[in-house]
Chain A
Amino acid sequence: MPAAAGVTRGGIDAMISNEPSYKERRNKRWIAISLLPAVALFIVLTAFPVVNLLALSFFHVEWREATSAFSFVGLDNYHRLFSTEKVFWDGVRNTAFFAVTAVSCQMVLGFSMALAVRTAGSYGRAVLTGIFLLPIVVPPIVIGTMWRLIMGREFGLANMLLGLLGLGPVDWLGNPDIALASVIFVDIWHWTPFVFLLMLAGLESLDGEVIEAARMDTRSRWQQIRHVVLPMMMPTIVVTLMFRVILSFKVFDEVYLLTSGGPGTATEVVNFSIYRTFFRQDQVGYGSAMSIVTLFAISVVIILARGFAQRRAARRSAVS
């Protein structure tokens, strides 16, 4: 059979053998070349520092005669971390508690605030949005200073107000039983606007007709939120939750400025332990081991959260 006009014998063979055409191959090459800068940046800015950190965690570093001396210690730093270290693990416990408590409160408050703004009039919406967003634009150093002044036992504003009511004074930052709760409170105040912002964006993007239909079909506002708004908002909620969990594991500035991890280890968090070990004590190898363990733990949390979100999405699409 003669070949069709414009179609070469080689082209027919290529189609028959399912081999990519020249155009497809060229496209793939172009895609690979286009990705190269991003891959190079990833290697230089992310992969290399992490690999370097991992390598450092197997060494003990000392300075003698103004020269660094690296001694290979194998898994000693990890062994020490898992066998004799106490402060870091107190920090892990506090950080986990901090993340769960602070993020839960922020999610509930942020979502409620977004609902309030969504249903407010245009003037109220502008005013409420401005007020709600204020904490997130304040620099962390100012937040630390401000709340340290407010929560001071002797001269703090909080105790002055309590005094007017005949209560207190409360040692917000010096009492080991409530110091962590005080830091969590400040974190909630600081980061709830972030949740609010994402939730508001999510609510604004919902289909208005569905919401209107739900209003007619449900008996109460709570039913409307529970059975319509919340399921529709789930992708936004999951993404926001992941953002906040990751960020809450990175808490440092509030603890550093308010309590420096004390009293005792009441407000010790992972990042503060790493900072103290790596920078103040100059234990580079041991600090690297702490960092790698933390990095690994956060990665596991993210992978689990993503897996959960993907399974949930798959289940929902199967049902619908």
Chain B
Amino acid sequence: MQSFIATFSRRSMLRACAAAFIVAAGVGTALAQSQPPVTMAINQSPWLNSFVAMVEEYENETGNKIELDVTPFGGLLEKIRNSVRGGQGAYDIVNVNSLWLSEIYSGGFLAPLGDVQAGYGLPEGVLTYGDTTNWDAEAGTFTGGGALMGVPVNGNVQVLYYNTDIYAKLGLHPPKTWDELLANAQAIQKEGEAYGFVPRAARDSIVYNFTPYLFSHDAAFFRITDSGKADVVVNSPEALKALQTYVKLATESGPPGPGNIAQGELIQLLATGKGAQAIAVIAAWGQLEDPNASRVVGKIDAALLPAGPAGTVASSAGHWVAGIPRNVPPEKQKAALAFLDWFAAKERQVDYVRAGGVPVRGDITGADLGDDAAFRFIGAYSQNAQHAVMGLPFAQASEASDAMALSLNRAVISEMTPAQALNQAAADLAGVLERNGFAVTKLPDL
């Protein structure tokens, strides 16, 4: 030791320090953040941890910082409104649920991504969930030709869940039509081991849950025929058939009291094996495969939703889109877009799925995930995502949804017949559209 100190002259020490400085500077440059820190408002949902894992990956890879302001679902919209309506936004990225997209887009709160970075378009392979990433301000609705407003960050569409153990025991197969689904449900119900089908028919979610039934019957809530003109068609004969199917499944093959079953109860029934089939969001997959929260790990599979009488398939979009507010500085907007673009790349989306997230691309296959059985949902998810529709594509979607939800819920709890419920829903929807400047035509009552 002494000899080492003796030979370690002042000059040697200076050389060593200089070398250390150069090495440190080199490493520092490699990890130095090239973008300013970004703050994102995000919801506390079951898939949050997978998103946090991606943020950590981004920070490690680039040195850039993403700060997440995590808020429960119920409070996020108000936080977003408060931020984007102010002179200076608190958030550089806002995570917007599909139901709020039209309100946030039409309010002019988000910067079109083409303005943030000239010519920016979604990377090929990223899903648009019924063109909900694009907004036509003049028409006041989603269209593929409208301005690109955001990048999807979680592809939460509805899929058909079924218990493979029960299916195997009763010799059932994934249904291709609503009639087959009903037949499966009746067979399971008759066996008595589990409820044949679990609806999500509580007032706050029934419109979303009913949307696939409606659109697969080639019906709709309303159709915009021209700028400022709308046809309310929710009380068409096709819609009646769809609601009759929904009510039949909910009341004849489901648990008692279906009018108060929300997402939590639905997942609970599936996870305990008490519910054999359900139409629910793909984000529930993680909970159903969690050994600490589920008794059916490895016994649940997902499938494409059943087709309507003419073979039409529809799923309802319940995804999340990250937008960049107008009221943040341009350098922050660019930093936000850099992160979102990084996130949407295929290799990152594979990592996202591995971390428990639902991808926002339609080109990820089981092979990309090493054919791991834990990710067996990916095929059904991609199929349903291709058929995702936005049931209420206009700014007052929340108001319209609440107005119709009550009638649909009353049909499920037998306070109204399906025909009465749809007539009332049509009247309520027409009222919402008229109050918001649409010239409305309605179908005659059923």
> Could you list which residues of chain A lie within 8 angstroms of chain B, going by C-beta atoms?
63-68, 84, 87, 152-155, 171, 173-176, 179, 259-265, 276, 279-283
Asked if residues B257 and A175 are in contact (CB atoms below 8 Å), the reply is yes
- With a cutoff of 8 Å between Cβ atoms, the chain A residues found around residue B84 in the complex are 66
Residue among B103, B106, B260, B327 making CB contact with A179, cutoff 8 Å: B260
Question: What is the bound-complex CA distance between A175 and B260, given in angstroms?
Answer: 8
Asked if residues B257 and A153 are in contact (CB atoms below 8 Å), the reply is yes
Known contacts A174-B260, A176-B413, A264-B409, A279 near B78 by CB under 8 Å = yes
- With a cutoff of 8 Å between Cβ atoms, the chain B residues found around residue A262 in the complex are 202-204, 259-260, 409
Residue among A64, A84, A263, A279 making CB contact with B257, cutoff 8 Å: A263
Asked if residues A176 and B415 are in contact (CB atoms below 8 Å), the reply is yes
Asked if residues A66 and B203 are in contact (CB atoms below 8 Å), the reply is no
Asked if residues A264 and B406 are in contact (CB atoms below 8 Å), the reply is yes
Question: What is the bound-complex CA distance between A196 and B326, given in angstroms?
Answer: 54
- With a cutoff of 8 Å between Cβ atoms, the chain A residues found around residue B274 in the complex are 154
- Shortest distance between the CB of B426 and any CB in chain A (Å): 14
Question: What is the bound-complex CA distance between A44 and B84, given in angstroms?
Answer: 26
- With a cutoff of 8 Å between Cβ atoms, the chain A residues found around residue B107 in the complex are 63-64, 66
Asked if residues A265 and B406 are in contact (CB atoms below 8 Å), the reply is yes
Chain A residue at smallest Cβ distance from B84: A66
Asked if residues A280 and B326 are in contact (CB atoms below 8 Å), the reply is no
- With a cutoff of 8 Å between Cβ atoms, the chain B residues found around residue A283 in the complex are 399
- Shortest distance between the CB of B141 and any CB in chain A (Å): 15
B386 within 8 A of A: no
- Shortest distance between the CB of A228 and any CB in chain B (Å): 48
B173 within 8 A of A: no
- With a cutoff of 8 Å between Cβ atoms, the chain A residues found around residue B121 in the complex are none
Question: What is the bound-complex CA distance between A176 and B409, given in angstroms?
Answer: 11
Q: List 17 A-B contacts (CB under 8 A).
A: A63-B106, A63-B107, A66-B107, A66-B109, A154-B265, A154-B269, A155-B272, A176-B413, A262-B204, A262-B259, A262-B260, A262-B409, A263-B203, A263-B260, A263-B409, A264-B410, A282-B81
- With a cutoff of 8 Å between Cβ atoms, the chain A residues found around residue B257 in the complex are 153, 171, 173-175, 263
- With a cutoff of 8 Å between Cβ atoms, the chain A residues found around residue B256 in the complex are 153, 171, 174-175
- Shortest distance between the CB of B404 and any CB in chain A (Å): 12
- The A interface is mostly helix, strand or loop, or mixed, namely loop
Asked if residues A63 and B85 are in contact (CB atoms below 8 Å), the reply is yes
Asked if residues B415 and A264 are in contact (CB atoms below 8 Å), the reply is yes
B262 within 8 A of A: yes
B181 within 8 A of A: no
Known: A66-B85, A262-B204. 13 other contacts (CB 8 A): A63-B107, A66-B84, A66-B108, A87-B406, A171-B256, A174-B256, A174-B259, A175-B257, A179-B260, A263-B260, A264-B259, A279-B78, A283-B399
Question: What is the bound-complex CA distance between A179 and B84, given in angstroms?
Answer: 39
- Shortest distance between the CB of B415 and any CB in chain A (Å): 5
Asked if residues A281 and B396 are in contact (CB atoms below 8 Å), the reply is yes
In the complex, the 4 A-B pairs of residues with the closest C-beta atoms, listed nearest first: A174-B257, A263-B259, A174-B260, A63-B107
Question: What is the bound-complex CA distance between A261 and B262, given in angstroms?
Answer: 12
B340 within 8 A of A: no
B59 within 8 A of A: no
- With a cutoff of 8 Å between Cβ atoms, the chain A residues found around residue B265 in the complex are 152, 154
B261 within 8 A of A: yes
Question: What is the bound-complex CA distance between A187 and B261, given in angstroms?
Answer: 22
B431 within 8 A of A: yes
Total number of B residues with any Cβ neighbor in A under 8 Å: 39
List CB contacts (< 8 Å) of B380-406 with chain A. Answer: 396, 398-399, 402, 406
Asked if residues A174 and B261 are in contact (CB atoms below 8 Å), the reply is yes
B258 within 8 A of A: yes
Asked if residues A280 and B398 are in contact (CB atoms below 8 Å), the reply is yes
Question: What is the bound-complex CA distance between A176 and B327, given in angstroms?
Answer: 46
B112 within 8 A of A: no
Question: What is the bound-complex CA distance between A282 and B402, given in angstroms?
Answer: 12
B186 within 8 A of A: no
Q: Which of B255, B257, B262, B415 has the most CB of A within 10 A?
A: B257
- With a cutoff of 8 Å between Cβ atoms, the chain A residues found around residue B326 in the complex are 66
- Shortest distance between the CB of B272 and any CB in chain A (Å): 7
B77 within 8 A of A: yes
Known contacts A66-B84, A154-B269, A281-B402, A260 near B109 by CB under 8 Å = no
Asked if residues A154 and B259 are in contact (CB atoms below 8 Å), the reply is no
- With a cutoff of 8 Å between Cβ atoms, the chain A residues found around residue B262 in the complex are 260
Question: What is the bound-complex CA distance between A227 and B387, given in angstroms?
Answer: 74
- With a cutoff of 8 Å between Cβ atoms, the chain B residues found around residue A174 in the complex are 256-261
B268 within 8 A of A: yes
Question: What is the bound-complex CA distance between A158 and B233, given in angstroms?
Answer: 44
Asked if residues B398 and A282 are in contact (CB atoms below 8 Å), the reply is yes
Asked if residues A259 and B85 are in contact (CB atoms below 8 Å), the reply is no
Question: What is the bound-complex CA distance between A64 and B415, given in angstroms?
Answer: 39
- Shortest distance between the CB of B206 and any CB in chain A (Å): 9
Residue among A63, A154, A171 making CB contact with B109, cutoff 8 Å: A63
CB 8 Å contact bits of B285-328 with A (1 = contact, 0 = none) = 00000000000000000000000000000000000000000110
Question: What is the bound-complex CA distance between A65 and B77, given in angstroms?
Answer: 18
Asked if residues A280 and B261 are in contact (CB atoms below 8 Å), the reply is no
Question: What is the bound-complex CA distance between A67 and B84, given in angstroms?
Answer: 10
List CB contacts (< 8 Å) of B199-258 with chain A. Answer: 202-204, 255-258
- Shortest distance between the CB of A84 and any CB in chain B (Å): 7
- With a cutoff of 8 Å between Cβ atoms, the chain A residues found around residue B78 in the complex are 279
Asked if residues B108 and A65 are in contact (CB atoms below 8 Å), the reply is yes
- With a cutoff of 8 Å between Cβ atoms, the chain A residues found around residue B409 in the complex are 262-264
Question: What is the bound-complex CA distance between A67 and B262, given in angstroms?
Answer: 36
- Shortest distance between the CB of B173 and any CB in chain A (Å): 27
Asked if residues A263 and B402 are in contact (CB atoms below 8 Å), the reply is no
Question: What is the bound-complex CA distance between A287 and B204, given in angstroms?
Answer: 19
- With a cutoff of 8 Å between Cβ atoms, the chain B residues found around residue A260 in the complex are 202-204, 262
Chain A residue at smallest Cβ distance from B86: A66
Question: What is the bound-complex CA distance between A280 and B77, given in angstroms?
Answer: 8
- With a cutoff of 8 Å between Cβ atoms, the chain A residues found around residue B255 in the complex are 153-154
Chain B residue at smallest Cβ distance from A64: B108
Known contacts A174-B261, A261-B203, A68 near B413 by CB under 8 Å = no
